[in-house]
Structure 1
Amino acid sequence: MRRRVFILGGLLSFCSYFTGFSQRIELSPILIERIRYLTIFLEEMKSNKLEGVPFSYCEKVVDYFSEIELRERNLFGVQQDLSIRGANFENNFVYLNGAKVNDPQTGHFSLQIPLTEFDLEKVTIDGSSLQVAFHLKKPQREGIQLKSSWGQHSLWEEAFSINFPLKEIKNRISFEHKISSGSKQDTDFKLHNLVYYALLNEEENNWEFLFGWQKKDFGADSFYSSFYPHQEEHIDQKFFQLKTEMGIHSFSFSNNLYFRHHRDKFVLNRHDPSFYTNFHTTYVWGDEFLFKIFSGLDFLTGIFKEKITSTRLGRHSRIKKELTFRFTPQLRSNLLSQLDLSLLHCQGYGLNHSFSSRWEYSIGDASKIGLSVHRLLRYPSFTELYYFSPVNRGDTSLEEEKIYSLEFSFSHKVEKNIFTKLSIFFRKHKDAIDWVKNNLSSPWEAKNLGKLEVEGGGFTLKINPWGEKSRSIRFSYTYLHSPKASYSYSKYVFDSLQHKFVSQWKLSLFGWNLNLLGKFNKPYRRNSYVLWDLKLEKNFFSNLKFFIEGTNIFNQNYYEMVEIKGNSRWYKIGVKVNF
């Protein structure tokens, strides 16, 4: 029966290709991106801004927002954990082209996105609902991009992207490869990303097909435990997605069908693999339908299956079902609103609900006031439920975590030169989940901690005093008042940033463009540190670009986590060619 549901979704999508209608209805972006048009709650970085930012992999972009903490166990996309406004990496919701790609085994893998920089159109962050969304560039009928770079520690990167037509279908194939000996012993890596994206726009229907493949082989020095510095990991991920849109008169329909396969091989001691080696394979199926019955009312339904086969966690699976009613009434021309009411059922946890309410009021053309209220659910990962070892103990009786959030926002724009935004937010966690212990010699245990409350605020200032896109200044700051720890030792929940300040300086001189980014981080229980990244680039001719990028250019000594030392300075140079 379960297989039939997924097959039915695919058949409906396939059949829609052959169905004609007399009128095409343009669909709202909510179908694809899940984050609505109430822009006051969003932080985003678009492709025209991404081009000049020093990022060596797509996920790195989020680190330049003050409400995000990105914990990199190594650079260039080897592995990183995401924290939005102090929520740990299991509590965030990550979307790729509208599909939720959170890994059911562990949130350590949720931010492994099979994309190249040629595929990324923009990144949007909704701190109030703990969402990060990666949006794709649409393929074109023609265009070729090539990139190659070299850097410290035997770094070599190569990448290409080709756009081409197949009759009426626009296609893009992108590939990148990165290899390095690592900045220290047992941090070497080989990384691959391959993406194929096809788009068909017809008078009646829109079709999208996406395939992403990611392969990572790397040394994992102290990634999970400082007692074992010679760890090694091998990851192979495949992602498939088929999306369709169709409409007739006031009714429109869309389908988002996707599958994610993630395989992980973990070696505790790469010099003696027989000592301890684990294999984990997860499968995620998703099929979502959106029906727009008439203007202002959407009906969404989805069914999802998560499965794991593991030498350590065993074999487990669960089915999730979701039903959502979305109201977007246009009460006044200067008042936008959105209300989501959802029923959710997860196998083993029964029926539950979530809701979301957003309001945005415009004061003239320059100012906006916003209010958002959310109730979110987070189910325990398979690791939190079933992982048992001498140093880590899961708990099969864990309850789902309920998250309540409230945000007030105000933004103001002075023509095109100055933009400011101020936010105040509150968040409460009920049955919060974390790995804790009271004695240093005791094993880590997954526990429901009860209630946690987080409050804070944020400020953003963007200045363009010269009126030029190549010259601008941006400041952003986020403050968090973290909860007091109820246990002596906490792995994640009680080890968040209390202060983060980000400054970005874009300058242009004699044809050279400089993008300098500084980050001041003050963890709640650890010493503060400042990191600076830069990118210097110059165009030669109309299609050739030379660039220099540096990460942690002042070689700041710091710790990403209590037991994990941060990354040292790393420079690279490269060229990029467009045809």
Structure 2
Amino acid sequence: MRPSSTFSITTRPAPVLVGFGWLALATCLLADAPDRSLPLLTVYSQRVANQAPVATFAMPVSALRFEPRVDVQARNFAEGQADIAIRGGIFENTGFTLGAVTLFDPQTGHYFAEIPVAPAMLGAPQIVTGADLGLSATNATVGSVLHGWRPIRTAGAVAVGAGQDGLTQGEFYQGYVSDVKLGGRQLAADVAWAHSDSDGSVPYGDHVLNRVNARLQLAGAGAQTDLFAGYQAKFFGWPNLYTPFNSNETDDLETILIALNHRRDFGGGDFFEAGAAYRRNKDEYVYNRLIGPVQPYFRHTTWVQSAALSGRQSLDAFALNYRAEAWHDELKSTSLIFGRFNTRQLYKLALVPEWSRALGGGAKLVARAGASYDDTNRGSGELSPILELARESSGPWQKLYLSYAKTSQVPTYTALNSSAAAGLFRGNPDLGRETSHNLEAGAQLAAAGWRGQAAVFYRRDDDLVDWTFRRGVTARTASAVDIATTGFEVVAQRSWQRFDVVLGYTWLTKDADYGGALVDASFYALNYARQRLTAAVTARLTREIELRLDNEVRVQAANLLRTRGGDHPLISSLGVTYRPAALRRLSLSVQVDNLWDSTFQEVPAVPAARRQTSFSAGYTW
């Protein structure tokens, strides 16, 4: 293992302020420049500038890292292992929906984002909260990330790259639309492959990642059916990967996903979607890779079979929104053996009638009032109301709304089945259903070339399962907490001929009650940014050169587990792409992640990845 290389750029914010000044000047100069923009790239997210990561190949989580409404808390790089939090929630509050089906790992929320699908096969991520969450996902209480299946085109792409710390990476994608028609719909297929390996930006931070995908699709006449199979293998190491005890840990994952999805759009917002999925995740976690085979190993395998349907059907001024989903999960583990069960069924049914009434000036009043019901064969069910009143318009104020929604979920097996008295992770078999109440008011606006949305919200989480730390105890403990979160978030974006900008700001405050539990610090529930500002900039400097810059500034809540990086980090990612005028299908790129070499620990006690640079070449056809 060779030591990582570093640069001498200062971590102080002055260079960034200068950089923002130059970008502001460039905005003025480029906004009225003649349109010589580059051809559109494959866009995985409309609100993040750098679509591809530096340290590995692109994954669905790559499009979330600088997303204004999502906080990605990475261990090493986000694609290795990352916790996805929305509105100050924790990683296990967040759902991931692929087509009709909610993807889930019953062992731990750390693996919720293990989705072995090439982003080229997916639509841009959509973030839902509040009333929309109850109709969009199962077993998620704060927010969910929604992905649809992208229509296949006859097109292909290949990319290779190399960088610091022995990094090598490669990706391949090929889509093909045939002349064969079945039932009036076109038969198509696509495949994808990706690989990366590196020694890591710190000692014992190495990785080897691989992914292969194949998909068949029937599309046409407003309908699309997809059959997908994917496999992903990930080995990665990192100091203090999951524990704060100065150990060089590793995780070795193998994820299989098979999914079938059908969607039919009827126009006017009406649709029907149904899907089924099989997911298997194998995990081997090693606490100290330097000890060798004499140490205890933690091996887990989970299986989830799920089926879901959802839709909206309207008749004049009335519409019915609905969702139904069922899961069966199973766990096999060498260490998670202290709970009361290792198989479980989960069920959800949501029915939300909707009424609309025309107002003056082309506006309309829309009211939704219904409920969802969540149940399991391992505990009690929960009835949750979903209410929203909105004014919708084609004018600048596109939507004004007030909503209340209750959601609920059950804990994962790591919390339920870990030993309560010994080991690195202390669980509690008596943990019950978690519930969340969300009240919010918000607006969507489009004016003067800008598009934006804003919301103010109050959320109360009851019996939330958090992982906590106590001085003198070599373990992290699953503790139930009642916590109130008050917040405000706003996102604004605008595009000029040669320049795009997306700005986001979130303000949060929390009040937590752990009851009689002895807690000195929280790894997750109290690991949040009191204020977070994001700025994504895309500048088409010439016909051949494009610059992309993502930035995040945080005012982090204090946490005694955080040992480096302070509470006011500035994190940036920079990419520059050159496309020769004579060969527009070729792209040559240089990217720098963690531009200012920040040492901020996104997860307390977990060392930050250092600045990394990579070079890549891509070709499309």
Indicate conservation of the 8 Å contact 1:96/1:113, yes or no: no
**Structure 1 CA distance for aligned equivalents of residues 465 and 527 of structure 2:** 14
1:201 maps to what in 2? 219
Q: Does 1:517 align with 2:542?
A: no
**Structure 2 CA distance for aligned equivalents of residues 491 and 521 of structure 1:** 17
Q: Does 1:433 align with 2:452?
A: no
Distance 1:205 1:52, change over 3 A: closer
Indicate conservation of the 8 Å contact 1:440/1:489, yes or no: no
Q: CA deviation at 1:394?
A: 0.8
2:89 maps to what in 1? 87
Q: CA deviation at 1:100?
A: 1.1
Q: Pick the aligned partner of 1:544 from 583, 586, 594.
A: 586
Q: CA deviation at 1:305?
A: 0.6
Indicate conservation of the 8 Å contact 2:99/2:275, yes or no: no
**Structure 2 CA distance for aligned equivalents of residues 357 and 170 of structure 1:** 41
Distance 1:189 1:430, change over 3 A: same
**Structure 2 CA distance for aligned equivalents of residues 64 and 401 of structure 1:** 28
**Structure 2 CA distance for aligned equivalents of residues 171 and 392 of structure 1:** 44
**Structure 1 CA distance for aligned equivalents of residues 273 and 548 of structure 2:** 40
Indicate conservation of the 8 Å contact 1:501/1:520, yes or no: yes
Q: CA deviation at 1:293?
A: 6.3
Distance 1:341 1:537, change over 3 A: same
Q: Does 1:476 align with 2:507?
A: no
Indicate conservation of the 8 Å contact 2:223/2:264, yes or no: yes
Distance 1:190 1:428, change over 3 A: same
1:111 maps to what in 2? 113
Q: Does 1:328 align with 2:354?
A: yes
AA aligned to 1:270 is R
SS for the counterpart of 2:401 is strand
Q: CA deviation at 1:484?
A: 4.2
SS for the counterpart of 2:123 is strand
1:159 maps to what in 2? 171
**Structure 2 CA distance for aligned equivalents of residues 460 and 51 of structure 1:** 12
| Correspondence 1:438-453 to 2 at 5 A | 438-441=470-473, 443-449=475-481, 451-453=482-484
Q: CA deviation at 1:163?
A: 0.9
SS for the counterpart of 1:64 is coil
Q: CA deviation at 1:247?
A: 9.9
Q: CA deviation at 1:139?
A: 1.3
Indicate conservation of the 8 Å contact 2:444/2:453, yes or no: yes
Indicate conservation of the 8 Å contact 1:54/1:550, yes or no: no
SS for the counterpart of 2:89 is coil
Indicate conservation of the 8 Å contact 1:98/1:133, yes or no: no
2:161 maps to what in 1? 149
Indicate conservation of the 8 Å contact 1:139/1:198, yes or no: no
In the TM superposition, what whole-angstrom CA distance separates every residue of 1:94-145 from its partner, at most 9, and x where no partner exists?
Answer: 11233211211000000122122322320111243411123332112x2111
2:210 maps to what in 1? 192
**Structure 2 CA distance for aligned equivalents of residues 127 and 244 of structure 1:** 24
**Structure 2 CA distance for aligned equivalents of residues 360 and 231 of structure 1:** 50
Q: CA deviation at 1:231?
A: 1.5
**Structure 2 CA distance for aligned equivalents of residues 291 and 507 of structure 1:** 39
Q: Does 1:258 align with 2:271?
A: no
Q: Pick the aligned partner of 1:55 from 52, 64, 88.
A: 52
AA aligned to 1:306 is D
Q: Does 1:503 align with 2:535?
A: yes
SS for the counterpart of 1:408 is strand
Distance 1:199 1:326, change over 3 A: farther
AA aligned to 1:179 is D
| Correspondence 1:234-383 to 2 at 5 A | 234-245=252-263, 254-271=273-290, 272-290=292-310, 295=315, 296-314=319-337, 316-332=342-358, 334-363=364-393, 365-367=395-397, 368-383=399-414
SS for the counterpart of 1:65 is coil
**Structure 2 CA distance for aligned equivalents of residues 158 and 509 of structure 1:** 27
Range with greater deviation from structure 2 (369-378 or 433-442): 433-442
**Structure 2 CA distance for aligned equivalents of residues 156 and 352 of structure 1:** 49
Q: Pick the aligned partner of 1:457 from 476, 488, 505.
A: 488
**Structure 1 CA distance for aligned equivalents of residues 64 and 263 of structure 2:** 29
SS for the counterpart of 2:258 is strand
**Structure 2 CA distance for aligned equivalents of residues 552 and 165 of structure 1:** 40
Q: CA deviation at 1:221?
A: 2.2
AA aligned to 1:320 is L
In the TM superposition, what whole-angstrom CA distance separates every residue of 1:174-200 from its partner, at most 9, and x where no partner exists?
Answer: 111111111111111111122222211
Structure with larger RCO (C-alpha < 8 A, sep 6+): 2
Q: CA deviation at 1:151?
A: 1.0
Q: Pick the aligned partner of 1:564 from 599, 603, 606.
A: 606
Query: TM-score, structure 2 length as denominator?
Result: 0.80
Q: Give me the identity figure in percent.
A: 18
Q: Pick the aligned partner of 1:182 from 162, 187, 200.
A: 200
**Structure 2 CA distance for aligned equivalents of residues 230 and 247 of structure 1:** 50
Q: CA deviation at 1:441?
A: 2.8
Distance 1:204 1:551, change over 3 A: closer
Distance 1:157 1:348, change over 3 A: same
AA aligned to 1:207 is T
Distance 1:405 1:505, change over 3 A: same
In the alignment, structure 1 segments of 5+ residues that lack a partner are 1-44
In the TM superposition, what whole-angstrom CA distance separates every residue of 1:368-409 from its partner, at most 9, and x where no partner exists?
Answer: 312222111021110110112433221111111100111111
Range with greater deviation from structure 2 (178-187 or 161-170): 161-170
Indicate conservation of the 8 Å contact 1:482/1:496, yes or no: no
AA aligned to 2:94 is N
Distance 1:453 1:274, change over 3 A: same
Q: CA deviation at 1:213?
A: 1.3
Q: Does 1:405 align with 2:474?
A: no
Q: May I ask how many residue pairs the two structures share in their alignment?
A: 529
1:533 maps to what in 2? 573
In the TM superposition, what whole-angstrom CA distance separates every residue of 1:38-61 from its partner, at most 9, and x where no partner exists?
Answer: xxxxxxx95474795253233022
In the TM superposition, what whole-angstrom CA distance separates every residue of 1:531-561 from its partner, at most 9, and x where no partner exists?
Answer: 1111111222231111111111111221122
AA aligned to 2:511 is P
AA aligned to 1:239 is L
In the TM superposition, what whole-angstrom CA distance separates every residue of 1:222-262 from its partner, at most 9, and x where no partner exists?
Answer: 10123252222210001111123579999986531111111
Distance 1:301 1:177, change over 3 A: same
Q: CA deviation at 1:152?
A: 0.8
Indicate conservation of the 8 Å contact 1:122/1:136, yes or no: no
SS for the counterpart of 1:446 is strand
Distance 1:199 1:329, change over 3 A: farther
Distance 1:178 1:454, change over 3 A: same
Indicate conservation of the 8 Å contact 2:128/2:145, yes or no: yes
**Structure 1 CA distance for aligned equivalents of residues 494 and 164 of structure 2:** 34
Indicate conservation of the 8 Å contact 1:246/1:252, yes or no: yes
**Structure 2 CA distance for aligned equivalents of residues 83 and 443 of structure 1:** 23
Q: CA deviation at 1:328?
A: 3.0
SS for the counterpart of 1:385 is helix
Q: CA deviation at 1:80?
A: 0.5
In the TM superposition, what whole-angstrom CA distance separates every residue of 1:430-473 from its partner, at most 9, and x where no partner exists?
Answer: 11221235444364332222x31100101223244xx31x4022
2:145 maps to what in 1? 132
AA aligned to 2:127 is I
**Structure 1 CA distance for aligned equivalents of residues 196 and 47 of structure 2:** 20
RMSD (CA atoms): 2.6
